[in-house]
Amino acid sequence: MKEQNPAAAGFFAITPDGGKRRNERIPEMDFNTHDIARDACQLFGSQAELGYDWWWHSFTARNKATKEEKAFFIEYFLCNPASGGEEPVFGQLPENREKGIRPSYLMVKAGTWGKDARQIHRFFGWNKIKVDMGVPYRIEAQDCFASEKRITGFVSVSEEEAKAHPEWMCESGTMRWNLRVDKQIAFNVGYGADERMRHLQAFEMFWHAEGMKTAYEGEVEYNGEIYEVTPETCYGYADKNWGKDFTSPWIWISSNSLTSMITGKKLENSVFDIGGGKPKISHIPLRRKLLSAVYYEGTPYEFNFSKFWDKPYTEFDCREEEDRILWHIIQKARNDIFVCDLTCLKEDMLLVNYEAPDGKKRHNRLWNGGNGTGKAELFHEGELVDRIRIERAGCEYGEYTE
């Protein structure tokens, strides 16, 4: 017997067993539309003078010797090419802050979550970077490389270096990687990031998830330990953000390590992705807005504030407690409701560091993790599609006072 959600009265039913009615419900525009043009470097026009562009990758690997599971992330972050030179320019250096000098570099960010969570940064000046502005994208700097199909690289910072260089905004550690990338399910957020809007550069922070479900394969070496990455067990994710500043609040949750709490079966063809907070269009804030997509065993459900014809509605309560970060999100659109509750322990997270293109570091408590756990409920026309256990979730939350 299907469960009724009283708050969702008037929404129609889908059977959780893969029935015909579920398969018949396909929106006119499926967010799972791959578009690698959106992954191209966006640092042209005014964003070359004041802008960032980054490509994010996260996944789970297993220790080759002990089989212990560990979550990793890798990011390639470009900033302010127009003011670049032979060496990286750090916005957090006191003398640069006093003079209003903006940062300019490629920052390769890599690290891990868990009890030894840390971020390790390596910087390159723009004269030592090769960036293909076309499609597909390509970034190369010495032994660091990123493209749609492969990422490789190496970062190493000693404890002494990390203490001596706070402008690097990182911890110590060593990490090397060589990974093949297969972006399988996309979250294409729609017209807000289409060609016309990208060239207008009206949004302060854009988002495109070409691989909200991504299969990685290869090897990671972290502090002398070898970790294997396989498509079947990596639970991978890949997206990108670009713009001129960062949103606050900053919210992100995604996972494809999902299990039906009704049937007990792993949901092998499912993933969800939530992001946003307070987007700005031409400096005008749209308060408390989230974009999200749920791909449930082949059927797409989208909750997108820009698609007003779907009558989207969002409530969220994200907060920091003494030992954990909590997310509670309710989203409605057309005939669908998605309720997500997630927890991540602070001891498994890190305070992720970025400086904005103007040189200011506004986010100083931006919590970032890869081991979030929780549950979600998906409703369609008032009846339960599935109750889902969430594991290995990537997650972020942070706010600052302007």
What ranges do the domains of the chain cover? Answer: 6-398
Is 162 in contact with 148 (CB distance < 8 Å)?
no
Cα→Cα distances 6→141, 147, 307, 337, 379, Å: 56, 47, 25, 12, 11
Average pLDDT over residues 250-276: 97
Please report, as a single letter, which amino acid is at residue 133: M
Q: How confident is the model at residue 278 (pLDDT cuts 50, 70, 90)?
A: low
Using pLDDT thresholds of 50, 70 and 90, give the confidence band for residue 306. confident
Q: Give pLDDT, residue 309.
A: 82
pLDDT bucket at 71, cuts 50 / 70 / 90 = very high
| pLDDT band with cut points at 50, 70 and 90 for residue 7 | very low
User: Residue 4 above 80 pLDDT?
Assistant: no
The answer, yes or no, to whether the previous bond of 357 is cis (omega within 30 of 0) is no
Cis omega (within 30 of 0) for bond into 249 = yes
In this prediction, residue 287 has a pLDDT band, given cuts at 50, 70 and 90, of low
Q: Is 278 strand, coil or helix? A: coil
pLDDT score of 30: 84
Whether the Cβ atoms of residue 172 and residue 157 lie closer than 8 Å to each other: yes
Q: Within 13 Å of residue 128, how many CA atoms lie on the same side as its CB?
A: 16
- Owner of token pair 């090897």: 219
Helix (H, G, I), strand (E, B) or coil at 272: strand
Does residue 153 have a pLDDT over 50? Answer: yes
Structure tokens at 165: 């260089």
**Element holding 200 (H helix, E strand):** helix 195-200
The answer, yes or no, to whether residue 378 has pLDDT greater than 70, is yes
Provide mean pLDDT across the span 19-28: 40
Please report the pLDDT score of residue 168 as a whole number: 98
Distance CA 310, CA 257 (A): 28
Q: What is the pLDDT of residue 64?
A: 98
What pLDDT band is residue 204 in, cutting at 50, 70 and 90? confident
Query: What percent of the chain has a predicted confidence (pLDDT) above 70?
Result: 87
**C-alpha pair distances (Å), 321 with each of 69, 339, 356, 384:** 26, 21, 26, 31
What pLDDT, in 10s, does the model give residues 113-152?
999 999 999 999 999 999 999 999 999 999 999 999 999 9
The residue among 329, 192, 235 whose CA lies nearest residue 274 is 329
- The answer to whether 191 and 15 are in contact (CB under 8 A) is no
* Spatial contact of 10 and 164, defined as CB atoms under 8 Å apart: no
* Helix or strand holding residue 155 (H, E): strand 150-157
- The Cα-based distances of 369 to 31, 187, 201, 229, 360 in angstroms read 25, 20, 29, 19, 23
The reported pLDDT for the residue numbered 201 is: 53
- In this prediction the pTM is 0.90
Look at 282 and 255; give whichever has higher pLDDT: 255
Neighbours of 296 (CB within 10 A): 24
From CA 60, how far away is CA 257, in angstroms rounded?
10
In the predicted structure, residue 15 carries a pLDDT above the cut 50: no
Whether 69 shows a pLDDT value over 80: the answer reads: yes
Mean pLDDT to the nearest integer, 334-341: 96
Does pLDDT of 22 surpass 60? no
pLDDT score of 311 = 87
- Of 11 and 124, the structure prediction assigns the larger pLDDT to 124
pLDDT per residue as tens digits for the range 84-122: 999 999 999 999 999 999 999 999 999 999 999 999 999
Instruction: Dump pLDDT digits (tens) for 314-327.
Output: 999 999 999 999 99
Amino acid 308: pLDDT: 77
In this prediction, residue 312 has a pLDDT band, given cuts at 50, 70 and 90, of confident
- Tell me whether strands 144-147 and 150-157 are parallel, antiparallel or unpaired: antiparallel
